[in-house]
Amino acid sequence: MGSHSIADKVAIVSMGCTKFGEHWDKSLDDLIVDACFQAFNEIEINKDAIDAFWLGTAQSGMSGITLARPLQISNKPVTRVENYCTSGSEALRAACYAVASGAYDIAMAVGAEKVKDSGYQGLNAFPIPGDGTQRTLTAAAMFSMVAPAYCNKYGVSLDEMSQVLAHISVKNHANGARNPRAQFQKEITPEIVLGSPRVAGTLGVFDCAGVADGAACAIVVRAQDAFQYTDKPIFIKSLSFAAGSGSGLIDPNYDYTHFPECEKAANDAYNQAGITDPRSQLMMAEVHDCFTPTELVLMEDLGFAPRGSAWKEVLGGTFDLDGELPINPDGGLKSFGHPVGASGLRMMFECWLQLRGQALESRQIVSDRKLAMTHNLGGYPGEMVSFVSIVGKELTA
């Protein structure tokens, strides 16, 4: 296999993240400036210190100019990347590879999205001229097909499934209630989830990620240079990516109870980082909980629970903040909303805080584990891209 680890070659030395929410009073440029200057100021560097930039945004702007103009970066390599909802993670991946290759000394990954200016509900794809036969379903509808398929395969009743999905929603909102950057900072009850208006299939409003504007960023350098910038850098242990061929949409063997792209990306990431038992080795994981059934299935795809058992683990509290493996301790997409290009770096921001012991005390995970994970997906069941990263607070001896 041609995938090689860049473990311990690159470190994140500073990060920034705006509050996520309906920023009616902030433009995309404002969000970018706010996030980036958090990161610059934290390590007291000037933007001119950065050698190369990558901006992940799905549809808030085109080209590197979308970043270069608001930051007034003159004549440097600035590139916009897009890969569905993993756009922010792709910016980080590019910046890390650039540093690992030796091409640049210091690089920056920025993810930003202005969603709330569209005037429509939910996320809406930029229309590309076509033959008119493409599906126009919402993401909620595409992911809603997972829940009944999972129930059918593993003999879970629809009532039990409602409780499982409600637990995921309640847990993520509880975590978000302990995070001043989250869009929603209120705890909710299972009754609120179950009583919310239906959006698609059995999914209600509280099964869906919110819709928010936001930006986040990371500055990366060679690992050996990291301590020049901070006492507590975090180190890249693995970066993996898998794009599906879309065959799940045409292959009758695909059963909508798992996401092969995510499983593939996770296994690659574990190999790169030398992880053999993620459930016992990871301190936490930020996963792409765009809808509650997505998080459920990911617990199995990412190797945190055997196939067909994640629903019991969810109910048992395994993935709660005080559970065996806290999932989405920052509140996840559920509490943060999903400014598409920013989400991947927002997930990394939580790893940054947790590994450095800087999360709010009410949600800081106390653990002797030293690794954290982000998982980011884009697309739909059957036709998906998936990103996984592992970061650690120490260099491997």
CB proximity list for 356: less than 8 A, separation 6 or greater: 232, 234, 393
Is 143 or 311 the residue whose CB approaches other proteins more closely? 143
Strands (E), 126-213: 198-200, 203-204
Shortest distance in whole angstroms from residue 312 CB to other proteins: 22
Binding site for other proteins (CB under 8 A): 118-122, 124, 127, 129-133, 135-138, 140-142, 144-145, 148-149, 152, 198-201, 245, 247, 249-252, 254-256, 382
Please, which residue, 200 or 373, has the CB nearer to other proteins?
Answer: 200
* 376 CA to centre of own chain: 4
CA distance 126 to 113: 13
Sign, Cα dihedral of 100, 103, 105, 111: negative
In the sheet that holds 78-81, the strands lie side by side as: 78-81, 52-56, 106-113, 214-222, 10-17, 234-243, 383-392, 371-380, 282-286
In the complex, minimum distance from the CB of residue 161 to other proteins, in angstroms, rounded to a whole number = 14
Nearest to 330 by CA among 187, 164, 212, 182: 182
Known catalytic residue at 258: no
Query: Could you tell me the smallest distance in angstroms from the CB atom of residue 208 to other proteins?
Result: 9
Assign 3-state DSSP to the chain and report helix, strand, coil percentages, each to 5: 35, 20, 45
Catalytic residue among 167, 288, 338, 375: 338
Please check whether residue 20 is in contact with residue 180, taking contact to mean a CB–CB distance below 8 angstroms. no
Known catalytic residue: 338?
Answer: yes
CB of 135 to other proteins, least distance (A): 6
What is the CA angle 37-39-44, rounded to 5?
85
**Residue number, 257 or 328, with CB nearest to other proteins:** 257
**Shortest approach of other proteins to residue 215 CB, angstroms?**
24
Q: Which of 88/293 has CB closer to other proteins?
A: 293
Give min distance, CB of 178 to other proteins, in A.
30
Helices (H), 302-359: 310-316, 332-336, 343-355
Q: In this complex, which beta carbon is closest to other proteins, that of residue 120 or of residue 227?
A: 120
Residue 102 in tokens = 């030796």
395 Cβ neighbours under 8 A, 6+ residues apart? 8, 223, 235
Residues 45, 21 contacting (CB under 8 angstroms)? no
Which residue of the set 85, 151, 217, 290 is catalytic?
Answer: 85
Q: Which is nearer to other proteins, 102 or 132 (CB)?
A: 132
Residues designated as active site = 85, 338
